[in-house]
Structure 1
Amino acid sequence: MNLQKGMLAPNFELNATPDQKLRLSELRGKRVVLAFYPADWSPVCGDQLDLFNETLKYFSSYNAQVIGISVDSTWSHMAFAKDRNLHFPLLSDFEPKGAVSRLFWCYNAVKGCSERALFIIDEQGIIRWSEIYPEGINPGVDGVLEALEAINAKTNTKNHEQITTAGQ
């Protein structure tokens, strides 16, 4: 069964460096943008992650943490992040290969890598938006930023309704 909007995101723990792990549940209270991508060092993936890096302030304005995930090793991620001057975590779905990508239904077993996929997870760990893209297409950041804006507007409307009801 594919993961659907409104479902609790599967919790996972992956290495960000050889000595540091990051668990999705540790980020509760923040929105999380999971950016699954096929491989470090590929031109399209590099361009995609550069766009996320250049627009981090916009993600921060939505209380959203960007996280990249691929099946590359932590050593590859560290060199790639340094080369690209990336300022967000890259998590290694290396061993068992693609285990987290499989949890999110975005692992390509034929190619042995993650599909290009984006997920927005809210402060309570619920999937609010997701898209899977063709491997050679850079989806940019506009779609995910628009989705964050829509989620923000919906949350603000809900909060306003609760305040209005409580104040009556």
Structure 2
Amino acid sequence: MTPVTGGPVAPGTRAPDFTMHSTPDQTVSLRDLRGRPVILAFYPADWSPVCGDQMALYNEILPEFQRFGAELLGISVDGVWCHLAFAQNRRLHFPLLADFEPKGAVARRYGVYREGDGTSERALFVLDADGIVRWSYVSPIGVNPGADGILRALEALATPRGRG
């Protein structure tokens, strides 16, 4: 196991802002998504079997995430052209963001960069409409974390108590 730099951003903390490329000529900024929940799905690499299965699962249940008004963002250290080919091959309908230049800068800010192999952990963050981390999970690198935790976190945000 390759240790992460620090530890993941803790629930209750404002999520570090970022702007990353989703295509060669388009960027996504976290600040522009304020007002709705955001799911950040960091994963090690396009084209690896577990990552492919994880992103395909999220694509399949994307309507469930959208039912909560949530925006899903996949993030890895792969470049934008690799992301485009991977997304097209897997028929993904959510943005994949390139944490490529400087490599892993956003993963480092979230405390989930793996120095030893230059990838990110398989880490999930659910942010509330104000950009506060409300739930996070770092999965063992070879294990698909599924979506149950994400859905429970979104359900908690949808209740009056979860918005506090």
2:91 is the counterpart of 1:85: yes
Counterpart for residue 37 of structure 2 = 31
Structure 1 counterpart SS, 2:135: strand
Structure 2, unmatched stretches of 5+, are: 1-5
CA contact (8 A) 2:65 2:71 kept: yes
2:126 is the counterpart of 1:96: no
Percent of counterpart pairs with the same letter? 54
Residues in 2 aligned to 1:126 and 1:141: alpha-carbon distance in whole angstroms? 20
Residues in 1 aligned to 2:41 and 2:133: alpha-carbon distance in whole angstroms? 13
Structure 1, unmatched stretches of 5+, are: 159-168
Between Structure 1 and Structure 2, which shows a larger proportion of helix residues?
A: 1
Counterpart for residue 121 of structure 1 = 127
The AA in structure 2 aligned to 1:89 is P
Identify the structure with bigger relative contact order (alpha carbons < 8 Å, sequence gap 6+): 2
Q: CA RMSD in A?
A: 1.4
Counterpart for residue 3 of structure 2 = none
Structure 1 counterpart SS, 2:143: coil
Deviation at residue 155 of structure 1 after TM alignment: 4.7
Max radius of gyration: which structure?
Answer: 1
Residues in 2 aligned to 1:155 and 1:57: alpha-carbon distance in whole angstroms? 24
2:41 is the counterpart of 1:40: no
TM-score (norm 2): 0.92
Residues in 2 aligned to 1:77 and 1:154: alpha-carbon distance in whole angstroms? 37
